[in-house]
Amino acid sequence: MQRLLRTTMSLPLAGLITISLAALMAYLISVEGESGPAITEIQYELFPRVEVIGLPPPEEIEPVDAVDPPPPPPAIEIPRSGPPNTGIDVIIGTLPPIVDPGLNTGNMRFAGTANPTPIVRIPPIYPPRLLERGIEGYCSMIFDVGTDGTPINIRASYCSNNGFERNSIRSVERWRYSPAMDNGTPIVQRGVTTQIDFAIRE
Protein backbone atom coordinates (compact mmCIF):
# COMPACT_ATOMS: atom_id res chain seq x y z
CA MET A 1 0.00 0.00 0.00
CA GLN A 2 2.81 2.38 0.90
CA ARG A 3 4.72 1.53 -2.28
CA LEU A 4 1.65 2.37 -4.39
CA LEU A 5 1.20 5.65 -2.54
CA ARG A 6 4.87 6.66 -3.15
CA THR A 7 4.59 5.83 -6.85
CA THR A 8 1.40 7.89 -7.21
CA MET A 9 3.05 10.93 -5.54
CA SER A 10 6.32 10.73 -7.49
CA LEU A 11 4.78 10.71 -10.95
CA PRO A 12 3.43 14.30 -10.88
CA LEU A 13 6.77 15.50 -9.41
CA ALA A 14 8.75 13.81 -12.15
CA GLY A 15 6.51 15.37 -14.78
CA LEU A 16 6.98 18.83 -13.30
CA ILE A 17 10.78 18.46 -13.32
CA THR A 18 10.73 17.27 -16.95
CA ILE A 19 8.62 20.25 -18.05
CA SER A 20 10.96 22.67 -16.21
CA LEU A 21 14.06 21.25 -17.87
CA ALA A 22 12.44 21.46 -21.31
CA ALA A 23 11.54 25.11 -20.73
CA LEU A 24 15.09 25.92 -19.59
CA MET A 25 16.63 24.30 -22.65
CA ALA A 26 14.27 26.22 -24.95
CA TYR A 27 15.29 29.49 -23.30
CA LEU A 28 18.97 28.74 -23.64
CA ILE A 29 18.59 27.88 -27.31
CA SER A 30 16.87 31.19 -27.97
CA VAL A 31 19.64 33.16 -26.13
CA GLU A 32 22.49 31.66 -28.18
CA GLY A 33 21.47 33.64 -31.27
CA GLU A 34 21.85 37.05 -29.55
CA SER A 35 25.07 39.05 -29.94
CA GLY A 36 27.25 39.33 -26.85
CA PRO A 37 29.03 42.40 -25.48
CA ALA A 38 31.50 44.26 -27.73
CA ILE A 39 35.17 43.19 -27.34
CA THR A 40 37.79 45.91 -27.71
CA GLU A 41 40.79 44.82 -29.77
CA ILE A 42 44.23 45.54 -28.30
CA GLN A 43 47.01 46.08 -30.81
CA TYR A 44 50.65 45.54 -29.86
CA GLU A 45 53.93 44.78 -31.58
CA LEU A 46 56.06 41.80 -30.73
CA PHE A 47 59.29 43.46 -31.90
CA PRO A 48 59.02 47.22 -31.30
CA ARG A 49 61.55 49.47 -32.99
CA VAL A 50 64.07 51.21 -30.74
CA GLU A 51 65.21 54.67 -31.65
CA VAL A 52 69.01 54.94 -31.59
CA ILE A 53 70.23 58.00 -29.71
CA GLY A 54 73.66 59.27 -30.68
CA LEU A 55 76.33 59.37 -27.94
CA PRO A 56 78.09 62.65 -27.19
CA PRO A 57 81.70 62.90 -28.42
CA PRO A 58 84.32 61.91 -25.81
CA GLU A 59 85.99 64.72 -23.95
CA GLU A 60 89.65 65.30 -24.65
CA ILE A 61 91.89 64.61 -21.65
CA GLU A 62 94.79 66.97 -21.29
CA PRO A 63 98.16 65.29 -20.58
CA VAL A 64 99.44 65.57 -17.02
CA ASP A 65 102.98 66.73 -16.39
CA ALA A 66 105.28 64.19 -14.76
CA VAL A 67 105.84 64.82 -11.06
CA ASP A 68 109.22 64.12 -9.49
CA PRO A 69 109.05 61.68 -6.56
CA PRO A 70 109.69 63.18 -3.12
CA PRO A 71 113.18 62.76 -1.71
CA PRO A 72 113.70 59.81 0.65
CA PRO A 73 113.46 60.55 4.37
CA PRO A 74 116.74 61.12 6.14
CA ALA A 75 118.26 58.10 7.81
CA ILE A 76 118.21 58.31 11.58
CA GLU A 77 120.71 56.31 13.54
CA ILE A 78 119.13 54.67 16.57
CA PRO A 79 121.59 54.35 19.43
CA ARG A 80 121.81 50.90 20.91
CA SER A 81 122.34 50.47 24.58
CA GLY A 82 124.92 48.01 25.76
CA PRO A 83 124.46 45.39 28.46
CA PRO A 84 124.02 46.75 31.99
CA ASN A 85 127.06 47.02 34.18
CA THR A 86 126.83 44.28 36.78
CA GLY A 87 130.32 44.51 38.19
CA ILE A 88 131.65 41.56 36.13
CA ASP A 89 134.84 42.27 34.19
CA VAL A 90 134.65 41.69 30.44
CA ILE A 91 137.68 41.04 28.26
CA ILE A 92 136.89 42.50 24.83
CA GLY A 93 138.09 40.60 21.79
CA THR A 94 137.87 37.27 20.03
CA LEU A 95 138.79 33.92 21.44
CA PRO A 96 142.37 32.97 20.65
CA PRO A 97 142.80 29.50 19.17
CA ILE A 98 144.30 26.77 21.30
CA VAL A 99 147.83 26.37 20.03
CA ASP A 100 149.65 23.10 20.60
CA PRO A 101 153.08 24.16 21.90
CA GLY A 102 154.55 20.94 20.60
CA LEU A 103 156.22 20.07 23.88
CA ASN A 104 155.31 16.39 23.64
CA THR A 105 157.34 15.77 20.49
CA GLY A 106 160.61 13.90 20.41
CA ASN A 107 162.28 13.18 23.72
CA MET A 108 160.76 16.25 25.40
CA ARG A 109 157.76 15.80 27.69
CA PHE A 110 155.90 18.56 29.50
CA ALA A 111 155.17 17.75 33.11
CA GLY A 112 152.65 19.58 35.24
CA THR A 113 149.06 20.79 35.22
CA ALA A 114 147.30 24.12 34.63
CA ASN A 115 143.87 25.26 35.74
CA PRO A 116 141.44 26.86 33.25
CA THR A 117 141.90 30.62 32.90
CA PRO A 118 139.00 32.96 31.93
CA ILE A 119 139.48 34.73 28.61
CA VAL A 120 136.05 36.24 27.92
CA ARG A 121 133.32 36.96 30.44
CA ILE A 122 130.07 38.45 29.16
CA PRO A 123 127.98 40.13 31.88
CA PRO A 124 124.36 38.99 32.18
CA ILE A 125 121.35 41.10 31.25
CA TYR A 126 119.54 42.42 34.30
CA PRO A 127 116.00 40.96 34.39
CA PRO A 128 113.67 43.89 33.56
CA ARG A 129 111.05 42.98 36.16
CA LEU A 130 113.57 42.79 38.98
CA LEU A 131 115.28 45.96 37.76
CA GLU A 132 112.01 47.90 37.81
CA ARG A 133 111.33 46.70 41.35
CA GLY A 134 114.88 47.55 42.45
CA ILE A 135 115.70 43.97 43.51
CA GLU A 136 119.41 43.12 43.74
CA GLY A 137 121.00 39.74 44.36
CA TYR A 138 123.41 37.10 43.10
CA CYS A 139 123.69 33.59 41.72
CA SER A 140 126.31 31.00 42.63
CA MET A 141 127.17 29.07 39.46
CA ILE A 142 128.89 25.72 38.98
CA PHE A 143 129.96 24.29 35.64
CA ASP A 144 132.62 22.31 33.78
CA VAL A 145 135.14 23.65 31.26
CA GLY A 146 135.60 21.49 28.16
CA THR A 147 138.80 20.83 26.31
CA ASP A 148 138.00 23.71 23.93
CA GLY A 149 137.48 26.15 26.80
CA THR A 150 133.67 26.21 26.52
CA PRO A 151 131.61 26.02 29.75
CA ILE A 152 129.38 22.93 29.82
CA ASN A 153 126.93 21.40 32.31
CA ILE A 154 126.06 24.88 33.59
CA ARG A 155 123.72 25.13 36.56
CA ALA A 156 122.98 27.47 39.45
CA SER A 157 123.75 26.02 42.85
CA TYR A 158 121.96 28.90 44.59
CA CYS A 159 120.25 32.16 43.57
CA SER A 160 119.01 34.82 45.96
CA ASN A 161 116.05 35.25 43.56
CA ASN A 162 114.86 32.74 40.97
CA GLY A 163 114.54 35.58 38.44
CA PHE A 164 118.35 35.80 38.17
CA GLU A 165 118.92 32.11 37.28
CA ARG A 166 118.08 32.05 33.57
CA ASN A 167 120.11 35.15 32.65
CA SER A 168 123.06 33.88 34.71
CA ILE A 169 123.11 30.56 32.83
CA ARG A 170 122.89 32.33 29.47
CA SER A 171 125.77 34.60 30.45
CA VAL A 172 128.08 31.71 31.46
CA GLU A 173 127.26 29.93 28.18
CA ARG A 174 129.03 32.80 26.36
CA TRP A 175 132.16 32.73 28.52
CA ARG A 176 135.40 31.28 27.22
CA TYR A 177 138.39 29.82 29.06
CA SER A 178 141.79 28.52 28.23
CA PRO A 179 141.31 24.83 29.01
CA ALA A 180 142.95 22.99 31.86
CA MET A 181 146.13 21.19 30.86
CA ASP A 182 147.60 17.91 32.04
CA ASN A 183 151.08 17.20 30.73
CA GLY A 184 150.40 19.50 27.79
CA THR A 185 147.04 17.88 26.90
CA PRO A 186 143.74 19.81 27.29
CA ILE A 187 141.44 18.13 29.79
CA VAL A 188 137.94 18.75 31.11
CA GLN A 189 137.95 20.73 34.34
CA ARG A 190 134.94 19.86 36.46
CA GLY A 191 133.32 21.77 39.30
CA VAL A 192 134.36 25.33 38.40
CA THR A 193 132.46 27.79 40.59
CA THR A 194 131.82 31.51 40.34
CA GLN A 195 129.35 34.08 41.62
CA ILE A 196 127.42 36.55 39.46
CA ASP A 197 126.25 39.68 41.26
CA PHE A 198 123.26 41.75 40.18
CA ALA A 199 123.63 45.29 41.52
CA ILE A 200 121.84 48.45 40.44
CA ARG A 201 124.27 51.33 39.97
CA GLU A 202 123.11 54.88 39.55
192 strand-pairing partners: 143
Q: Is residue 79 part of a domain?
A: no
Q: Is residue 159 part of a domain?
A: yes
**101-109 LR contacts (CB < 8 Å, sep 24+):** 101/184, 103/184, 104/183, 104/184, 104/185, 109/183, 109/184
Q: For 140-156, what is the mean pLDDT?
A: 94
Residue 56: phi and psi, rounded to 5, are -70, 150
Q: Is residue 4 part of a domain?
A: no
Q: In the predicted model, is pLDDT for residue 116 greater than 60? A: yes
Give CA separation, 41 vs 38, 44, 61, 65, 125, in Å: 10, 10, 55, 67, 101
Q: Which domain holds residue 189?
A: 113-198
175 pLDDT band, cuts 50/70/90, is very high
Q: Encode 22-35: b = buried (16+ Cβ within 10 Å), e = exposed.
A: eeeeeeeeeeeeee
117 strand-pairing partners: 178
Q: Is residue 188 part of a domain?
A: yes
Q: Is residue 194 part of a domain?
A: yes
Q: Which of 13-22, 76-85, 157-166, 183-192 has the lowest mean pLDDT?
A: 76-85
Q: Is residue 183 part of a domain?
A: yes
Q: In the predicted model, is pLDDT for residue 88 greater than 50? A: no
**How far is it, in rounded angstroms, from Cα 121 to Cα 145?**
13
In percent, the amount of the chain with pLDDT more than 70 equals 64
Q: For 108-127, what is the mean pLDDT?
A: 77
Q: Based on the structure, what is the number of domains in the chain? A: 1
Q: Is residue 95 part of a domain?
A: no
> What sections of the chain are H helices per DSSP?
2-31, 128-132, 165-173
Q: In the predicted model, is pLDDT for residue 127 greater than 60? A: yes
Residue 38: HSE in the Cβ half-sphere, 13 Å Cα cutoff: 3
Q: Is residue 178 part of a domain?
A: yes
pLDDT higher at 92 or 35:
35
pLDDT at 138: 96
Q: Which tens digit of pLDDT belongs to each residue from 28-83?
A: 776 555 555 555 666 656 666 666 666 677 777 777 777 777 777 766 666 554 44
**How far is it, in rounded angstroms, from Cα 100 to Cα 106?**
14
Is 131:200 a contact under the CB 8 Å cutoff?
yes
The CATH number linked to 193 is 3.30.2420.10
